């Protein structure tokens, strides 16, 4: 990647973040990741990256699905308590 493009991308990362600190900004992190990527290493390990992404997504979404039932029950309990 050309150095001027890297500087432009890193410049976008420093844009103001409306709700969270820059450390927690996913868009800024994505820009930084793209700016610092090593294309040869990425291409050589592409299958590993895809498997890691898929497994990580399944674990994350699986936990979210498992937490939905208790979260829904807690929300319903809070709403019914507020109505009383």
Of residues 69 and 9, more confidence is placed in 69
For the stretch 35-75, pLDDT in tens is: 777 878 878 888 888 898 889 889 998 998 999 999 999 98
Three-class secondary structure assignment of 5-58: HHHHHHHHHCCCCCCCCHHHCHHHHHHHHHHCCCHHHHHHCHHHHHHHHHHHHH
The pTM score is 0.46
pLDDT at 80 over 60: yes
User: What pLDDT, on the 0 to 100 scale, is given for residue 24?
Assistant: 55
pLDDT at 76 over 60: yes
Of residues 4 and 75, more confidence is placed in 75
Q: Which residue do the tokens 């976008």 mark?
A: 12
Residue among 57, 7, 12, 71 at smallest CA distance from 36:
7
């Amino acid at each position: 990647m050309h150095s001027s493009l890297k500087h432009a991308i890193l410049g976008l990362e420093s844009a103001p973040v409306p709700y969270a600190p820059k450390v927690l900004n996913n868009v800024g992190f994505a820009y930084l990741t793209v700016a610092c990527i090593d294309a040869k290493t990425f291409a050589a390990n592409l299958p590993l990256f895809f498997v890691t992404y898929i497994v990580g997504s399944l674990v994350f979404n699986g936990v979210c699905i498992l937490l939905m039932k208790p979260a829904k029950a807690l929300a319903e309990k809070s709403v019914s308590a507020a109505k009383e």
